[in-house]
Amino acid sequence: MTTTSMPLPLPVVLAGARGHGRWHLANLRRLQGLGRVRLAGICELEPLSAQELADAGFGADADSGLRGHEPPAQSDDFAALLASTGARAAIVCTPIQTHTDLALTAAARGVHLLLEKPPTATWADYARMTEGVRQAGVACQVGFQSFGSHALPAIRELVRNGAIGDVTGFGAAGAWVRDDAYYRRAPWAGRRRLGATDVVDGVLTNPLAHAVATALELACGGRAEDVASIEAELFRANDIEADDTSSVRITTTDGLPVTVAVTLCAEQAGEPYVLVHGERGRITFWYKQDRVLLQRAGHGPEETVHGRTDLLENLADHLEHGTPLLVPPASTGAFMRVVEAVRTAPEPVPLPAGAWETRHEGPGGGARRVVPGIDALVAAGAESLSLFSELGAPWARVSEGATP
């Protein structure tokens, strides 16, 4: 798209202010205090209460940086809210299956977008959304926050300079914990579909989507056309439709494997990471921490911590100065190929009762299912670029591969 200088503060509407939307509210408050944006409206089925607004810092007792601003308008009608507020940008942080229609609603009104990940639930919706955004001439930033990490260009520079020799593959690992309440938080949670509507809320496509997308960003710039094949092994320990313990191997057109092993049934929660394997070393990137570890032959380990550019701030810079977007839809095409492979794969295989156990942990004593030994298997998958079935997991059997 061609951008023209857009004065700040940028009026923004937030669609979806609860759940993860609370993070966006906090970020909007920060950027509003800096004069970069103005929260013009909130779209929710049930309006935020005065207490919720106060807790988010948009109440009557807001600090001096926010005083003088009108409280955000509220409505459950997204299109009407965009029109009444004069919004120039919208954050879409709603259930996955609603992303496409809301994005196109904004685009049709010339409103620029920060669209939460995953951008859509299906490849067809992704194609429809990206074409609609292109035709409307609006900017669209997809909410993969890790792409704003300054570690990514630093890693590319290390690879370009031959720090680890020729790259032989990419791995990613994520071992997280989620209790039963996580799957009860919304009707779409842990679902592959709601009626005839695809949701695809599995571990690879939503909670640990950053592991998949970040590895693909390093491997091929996230481009769909650089994906040659996808092999997916989807399992579930929980009584849900979607997968909660899975591995996937994407092979690029250059022949490089990108293997991701993830679970929501870990013995202990760990920091997810991406590995860049080379002939003479490797790079580990803990993407939530912006932390990079370089290990190579003939040298001691070298660890660095990097800064990060906020995606909404980058969108504002793009609209004001023409700064390139960090996560345009094209950079998520390879990830969407994985989403489509997961969506069209056979149903996730339920793990046998002996492969998992229930633990009651935390102050509320919430129950969660744990797969003993999964933490080590997840790490081994990223290390050896192997799928769970290839690692000899007793409960794993090969599911059908999928190609884009």
Mean pLDDT of 11-15: 98
Residues 139-179 pLDDT 10s:
999 999 999 999 999 999 999 999 999 999 999 999 999 99
Name the CATH topology of 10-146. Answer: Rossmann fold (3.40.50)
For the stretch 251-299, pLDDT in tens is 999 999 999 999 999 999 999 999 999 999 999 999 999 999 999 999 9
Name residue 89's beta-bridge partners: 12, 112
> What are the Cα distances from residue 121, in Å, to 17, 115, 201, 401?
20, 13, 9, 19
pLDDT in tens, 102-150: 999 999 999 999 999 999 999 999 999 999 999 999 999 999 999 999 9
CATH of segment(s) 151-307+329-391: 3.30.360.10
Sheet with 37-43, strands from edge to edge, namely: 73-75, 37-43, 10-15, 89-92, 112-115, 140-142
How much is the pTM? 0.94
Nearest to residue 73, comparing CAs of 63, 85, 58? 85
Q: What pLDDT was estimated at residue 214? A: 98
Backbone angles phi, psi at 304, to 5 degrees: -135, 150
CA distance 67 to 377: 52
Break the chain into its structural domains and give their ranges. Answer: 10-146, 151-307+329-391
3-state secondary structure of 364: coil
pLDDT for residue 3 is more than 90: no
Backbone φ and ψ for 112, nearest 5 degrees, come out as -75, 160
In the chain, % of residues over pLDDT 70:
94
Structure tokens at 383: 């290390």
Question: Residue 266, by phi and psi: left (phi above 0), alpha (psi -120 to 50) or beta?
Answer: beta
